[in-house]
Amino acid sequence: MGHLQEFDQVFIQAPDHRPKLAVSQADGIPTIDLSPIFNDSPPAGSEFPHDLVQQIASACTEWGFFLVVNHGVPPEKRRRMEAAAREFFGQSLEEKRKVRRNEGVATGYFDMELTKNVRDWKEVFDFVVEDPTLIPASSDPDETELTQLINQWPEYPPEFREICEGYVEELEKLGHKLMELIASSLELPAKRFGEYFKGQTSSVRLNHYPLCPSPELALGVGHHKDPGVLTVLAQDHVGGLEVKRKRDGEWIQLKPVPDSYVVNVGDITEVWSNEKYESVEHRATVNSKRDRYSIAFFFYPSHSTIVEPLEELIGPQNPPKYKPYSFGKFLANRKRSNFKKLNVDNVQISDFKITN
């Protein structure tokens, strides 16, 4: 990726956001074995194993992040997806830019992304799970017009589209399973969240973080929280994902565990659970020795979802901590700011926080 060889000012993080190169390895981020879900098929309507639900509850409360193993995604599909991503990113810039994202098309290849108004040291390829995906055309609350997000697929690698579609099918199944566990951990019916995903706006992002000559100044992705419900990340063996530990604000690096997925709860889950589960800041570091690949599945509800604390979880002792907001409008606002350097931070759930 020759055009990133020139280390430019636009990549330099403010001093208080620069990565520490000697970083604590994460001990303590829970690894949760999902095999009980697949091994004994519980009779319909029956509960998940109690200790599995407890593990999910404590991981979501203490960390907002956890790893899952024995998650039911066929290793072969994941390997094909990882190989296809490497092949795609290995092409010339000219080839990749044939499917370049622009203001009219929000899917495809992109290498100029900004996080918190600083450019990320990475290149990406995005596709939506439902093709086409409907979202509002404008972030203006009074506009009702919708627009379609449509995937653009490269010609090479030849089976790229088929591999991506086969992979995401498995990730969707995993996403629904995880949401059933999260619902159970909040003492809600397992299927409580299912209806929000009819007409989902979920997407997948393939990331490539090239070698970086000044890894102490730049980040692959700057510090941020995820706006959706859940993120399920496949990272390669290089590692670089850092999570802000809730108890002391320390940045902790997640050690890659073969065949695992990293799961984190997003902003919507924070609002739905009325802050019982918090969305946690994270970032990706880069290095000068090995480039890194990862694949993120962003589980998002339909654009028509009004996000607010669930009525079952609020009451006189636990008043709602957020005002309702339209997820579609939120998304339309976010899509704008990925391209332009705005003078303000893009919309955040803190904008909807109720302050007493």
Domain architecture of the chain: domains with CATH: 29-249+257-352 (2.60.120.330)
In the predicted structure, residue 289 carries a pLDDT above the cut 80:
yes
CA angle 236, 105, 302 (to 5 degrees): 75
Q: What pLDDT was estimated at residue 44?
A: 53
CA angle 275, 120, 13 (to 5 degrees): 85
Q: What pLDDT was estimated at residue 104?
A: 77
30-34, 213-217, 275-279: segment of lowest average pLDDT:
213-217
Q: Classify residue 25 by burial, with Cβ atoms within 10 Å: 0-12, 13-18, 19+.
A: exposed
Alpha-carbon gap, residue 112 to 125, rounded angstroms: 12
Alpha-carbon gap, residue 356 to 345, rounded angstroms: 23
pTM for the predicted model, two decimal places: 0.93
pLDDT digits (tens, 9 = 90+) for 159-180: 999 999 999 999 999 999 999 9
